[in-house]
Amino acid sequence: MSSDILDQLAEVLASRRHGDADSSYVAGLHQRGLNRILEKVGEESTETLLAARDAESGGEAERQALINETADLWFHSLVMLSHLDIDHRAVLEELARRFGVSGLDEKAARNAS
């Protein structure tokens, strides 16, 4: 994913942190609190995995549905981070830190220590 759109979206989400819930879905989520945001992350996680099951044997429509559900999941995850004042760039930095480190090597090093 281009980090440009993530940066732009994170900026909009931050601007909605104390916004008007009547005119902003994101402000409404913040106003309802962390539990509501976590419910949405949970719902979108479930919808994403169900869409992935359908996409495996489906066609273009099912693949697009999975893309849409994954976007919902990523979006609500960004709202969660924003609610907790965690900069989304920290997640990108963590992925960058892991880049090139084999998951198997990392696990072996963890189990050895």
Ligand X SMILES: N=c1c2ncn([C@@H]3O[C@H](COP(=O)(O)OP(=O)(O)OP(=O)(O)O)[C@@H](O)[C@H]3O)c2ncn1[C@@H]1O[C@H](COP(=O)(O)O)[C@@H](O)[C@H]1O
* Phi, psi angle pair for 6, to nearest 5°: -65, -45
In the set 6, 24, 62, 89, which binds ligand X (CB under 6 A)?
Answer: 24
**CB closer to ligand X, 86 vs 96:** 86
Q: Binding mask 59-88 vs ligand X (x if CB under 6 A, - otherwise)? A: -------------x--x-------------
Report the distance separating Cα 79 and Cα 59, nearest Å: 31
In the set 26, 37, 51, 55, which binds ligand X (CB under 6 A)?
Answer: 26
**CB closer to ligand X, 70 vs 89:** 70
Q: Which stretch binds ligand X (CB under 6 A): 9-17, 50-58, 59-67, 88-96?
A: 9-17
Report the distance separating Cα 81 and Cα 9, nearest Å: 12
DSSP three-state, residue 48: helix
Evaluate whether 7 touches 90 at the Cβ level (below 8 Å): no
